[in-house]
Amino acid sequence: MLTRRMFLLLVGAAAAGCAQSGGPQQLRLASGESAGTYFQFARLLADASRDSRIRMVPIETDGSRTNIRLLLDDAAELALSHADAVPQRTDLAGSGLAAIGRVYENYVQLVVRADSEYSALTELRGRRIVLGAPGSGVAAVTAPRLLSAAEMTEEVDARYMNLTDAIGSLERGDIDALIWGSGYPTPALARRGFRFLSLGPNIEALQNAYPGLYDHVQLPGTTIDTVGVANLLLTRRHLPSEAASEVVHILVNKARDLIPAHALGTQFLDMRSLIGTRPVPLHPGAAEAYRRLHG
């Protein structure tokens, strides 16, 4: 869902792009909610691009599905997305989508109030659960698949809202749980009064239904089992190869500067991991840049 705030950000980014006057190429980067890792990562990328031949301009959005739509509508040149949110294989070839790299692991987080009695996803049957923001990949893809794996698709009162509103609703007791997918920890959730529930019993069914997309991981620094899904930096095949190559050089050469200060867990900012962008093929310019950097 494109909100008025997002529309104004897009207009500003477009105006900046029109004003470059032969300077560094402006690349609009569709990211995520300001409280989440997507937007923080996008801002770090933008900062790291300042001494390069490109300038990245982060666009705040509500998540992967909106980001992909902006990319396909040529309203952004780059986009962050969960790997499971990209179009199905039958639609992928005609979309022109291509990947710059696989950048970090998203952790699916099932959050409840610390004073609640819940200990597992299946105990939330019939309860009020926020599945994510309306335009997010978690709300559209990951959470419904997770509920299906737990055989409770029709047995929850599903709600959709951004993270800030969901946290407020959970604190007030207006909802019983929220599902969030991002890097870990998410600062807005790292507060007293919340607990994270294990998704361990549901992971095998999810993996069997969608081979190769989901990892069985633990929330970093804990023993809580959950679902991991790779985050991809996407573009379109018509992005000039020089621009794609420049983004690759930033990802590789400035990797240490691209990890949010609070982040724990798996970052994919090394050569071997960056190229593992299944199910999206690498952009030709990115692939060539990796070959050159690898020697």
pLDDT tens-place string over residues 215-252 = 999 999 999 999 999 999 999 999 999 999 999 999 99
Give residue-wise pLDDT tens across range 39-83. Answer: 999 999 999 999 999 999 999 999 999 999 999 999 999 999 999
Conformational region of residue 196, where left means phi above 0, alpha means psi within -120 to 50, and beta covers everything else: beta
Res 19 pLDDT > 50: no
pLDDT band at 17 (very low <50, low <70, confident <90, very high): very low
Per-residue pLDDT tens over the stretch 137-194: 999 999 999 999 999 999 999 999 999 999 999 999 999 999 999 999 988 898 779 9
User: How many Å apart are CA 191 and CA 234, to the nearest integer?
Assistant: 32
Q: Phi/psi at 195 (nearest 5 deg)?
A: -130, 155
Residue indicated by tokens 């952790």: 107
Domains and CATH numbers, the chain: 4-105+229-294 (3.40.190.10), 107-228 (3.40.190.10)
Mean pLDDT of the chain: 91
Q: What is the pLDDT of residue 216?
A: 97
Q: How confident is the model at residue 4 (pLDDT cuts 50, 70, 90)?
A: very low
The pLDDT of residue 18: 45
For the chain, percent of residues with pLDDT exceeding 90: 79
Mention every residue, 6+ apart, whose C-beta is less than 8 A from residue 214.
84, 203, 206, 207, 227, 228, 229
Half-sphere exposure of 93 (CA within 13 A, CB side): 2
Instruction: Compute φ and ψ for 126, nearest 5 degrees.
Output: 80, 0
The yes-or-no verdict on residue 11 having pLDDT over 60 is no
